[in-house]
Amino acid sequence: MAQGIPGGAQGAPSPVGPGTSAPAGQGTSVPVGQGASVPVPGTQGGQGATPQAQDAAAQDAVRPAEQQAQVTEGAHTPVKTPLTLAQLVERARRSDARVEEAEAELHRLQALQRQAHWAWFPKFETVVGFGGPTPEAHNDGLGGPPTTEATLEGDWNFGTLGVTFRAEVNALLPIYTFGKLSALAKAGDQGPIIGAALRERARDEAGFQAAQAFYSYQLARSGLAQIESVGKQLDDAGKRINDMLQEQSEQVSKSDTYKVNFFRQVVAAQRSVAEQGRVLALAAIRLLAGAQADESLEIAAVDLPLEEDYTPPTLEKTLAVADQRRPELTAIQAGIAAREQEVLIRERSYYPDLGIIGFARYAYTTNATPQRTPFAYDPYNDRSVGIGLAARGTFDIPVKNAQLAQARAELDKLKAQQRLLQSAIHLEVTKVHSDLLSALARAKAYSDAEKNARRWATAAYAAFDLGTGDTRELMDSFQALAQASTEKSKGWFDVRVGIAALNRVTGTPPAGP
């Protein structure tokens, strides 16, 4: 199962999702190492561009048209576009180390497939030798008596010493194996299917974690933006309280200053947490994207709330899609098919292999007379070749019985694992589907709660500014707004993660936002 990538605000679940890109009209991106925003407790997701990006946009707006044209015409360095979710997922699915490992395993299984299809090819057992010295051996070439004294054995007279060269080749071409070769080829064909499924699982895992890191960054980004907004409101409230204290207003007291300072410190602590989440999310993004150490990444800004109304598919439809598309189910089904062919091979191993056998031998010795009659034995010089029909097999019946029982047991084991895997996938899909429904309901509820809290805070601040409200009401509204904004961001974060998780557990290819 996928592990969450650290990032985002504390307590926020890890994000998941197919490749998505920034919504139309959002060109803001946050360079690594700059003040990017990230959601945190007491924050609201979906904020606009950071102050740095707004300043840059303002400068571009007032730049003279001639200068704009010069910059456009004279620029040789390509403009670096922000990294969208779709691009990040694609990079992770292509360059993640787990995907490379699965790719190597697929190549190994493809090689085994080729090996299985070439199992019929004869093995040319070849022996080549060269050595010496050899004693002299001469006769009339017809198997007659020795013609030289040194050819006689039993003494130390070896005559003219020589060397010998020998070569021998044997091969068997199977022509009928009672189905063993066909079964081996069918079993080999399942290997690439298994390898491709495992590679797809690794790609899905990498893409899922890329989406987790991307949405963790968006959660932290929007949190930092909201923290800045809350901090500004607290600064305004504190300044107003100080002014009223100097005017000796009975509406405020010194304790109100302490309350404001307390909330300022809380916001400062939350800013630290959000910044840590942003840094961790960026580190995860760089790792999953396979970014080089000197490569700078800009992450596209995306609002966590969905722009359009989203209705998850029914649980029944989700389970049906998972049964059809999960790569693990494809892999284990191919494994069962391969095991069935192995059982068939073990069952046919009791029968011999029928084939065409051939051999060729050549021997030459420099100091021996070649014999010109086939009735004369000549170990020194030989030129012979032959071909015929042969049957090859072994009679180790007890060993074959044990191997067949083992193959059948492995097949039964794999079928049990298939049933267990399917049950586990159904349970996983049910949980992810339920979590998505719950997150969607929470996100919508907290979106409405945040709207009401914002109206409350606006009314409380206006009443306080007019002198008709007290600081307790103001601080309570600020606290309610912070909590609602936090839960809203986390809720939509969970929705984004849940959509991506649902795509992963159903084996659905990544899609755009």
pLDDT band of residue 249 (cuts 50, 70, 90) is: confident
Q: What average pLDDT does this structure show over 462-471?
A: 77
CB 236 within 8 A of CB 42: no
Given pLDDT bands bounded at 50, 70 and 90, which one contains residue 285? very high
pLDDT, tens only, 400-411 = 999 999 999 999
Work out the angle at residue 151's Cα, subtended by the Cα atoms of residues 150 and 156, and round it to the nearest 5 degrees: 50
Q: Is the pLDDT of residue 132 over 80?
A: yes
pLDDT exceeds 60 at position 29: no
pLDDT for res 511: 55
* Amino acid 79: pLDDT: 53
Residues 167-195: what's their mean pLDDT? 95
Going by the DSSP 8-state scheme, the letter that residue 19 receives in this structure is -
β-pair partners for 358:
171, 387
What is the mean predicted confidence (pLDDT) over 82-105?
A: 92
Confidence (pTM): 0.72
pLDDT digits (tens, 9 = 90+) for 361-403: 999 999 899 998 888 888 899 999 999 999 999 999 999 999 9
**Can you count the helices (H) and strands (E) in the chain?**
10, 6
Confidence of residue 149 (pLDDT cuts 50, 70, 90): confident
Of 33-42, 43-52, 161-170, 230-239, highest mean pLDDT:
161-170
For residue 258, what pLDDT is reported?
Answer: 85
Return d(Cα 206, Cα 254) in angstroms, integer. 55
Mean pLDDT to the nearest integer, 196-208: 94
327 preceded by a cis bond (ω within 30 of 0) = no
Contact 443, 495 (CB under 8 A): yes
Check pLDDT > 70 for residue 135. yes
Residue 316 token pair: 């029944």
| Predicted local confidence at residue 141, as pLDDT | 86
State the pLDDT at residue 49.
Answer: 38
Alpha helices in 17-165 (DSSP H): 51-62, 65-74, 85-95, 97-117
- For 317, the token pair is 């439809």
Q: What is the pLDDT of residues 51-93, one digit of tens each?
A: 344 344 334 433 443 444 444 444 444 456 888 999 999 999 9
pLDDT, tens only, 32-41: 333 333 333 3
- Residues 300-347 have pLDDT tens digits of 999 999 988 889 999 999 999 999 999 999 999 999 999 999 999 999
Q: What percent of the chain has pLDDT over 70?
A: 84
Mean pLDDT: which of 27-41, 115-129, 279-293 is highest? 115-129
pLDDT at 80: 67
Work out the pLDDT band at 24, boundaries 50, 70, 90. very low
Going from the C-alpha of 391 to that of each of 173, 175, 343, 440, the distances in angstroms are 11, 10, 22, 70
pLDDT at res. 476:
86
Mean pLDDT, the chain, as a whole number? 82
- pLDDT value at residue 53: 41
Mean local confidence (pLDDT), 137-163: 86
Instruction: Give, for 128, the enclosing helix (H) or strand (E).
Output: strand 125-134
Per-residue confidence (pLDDT) for residue 510, from 0 to 100: 64
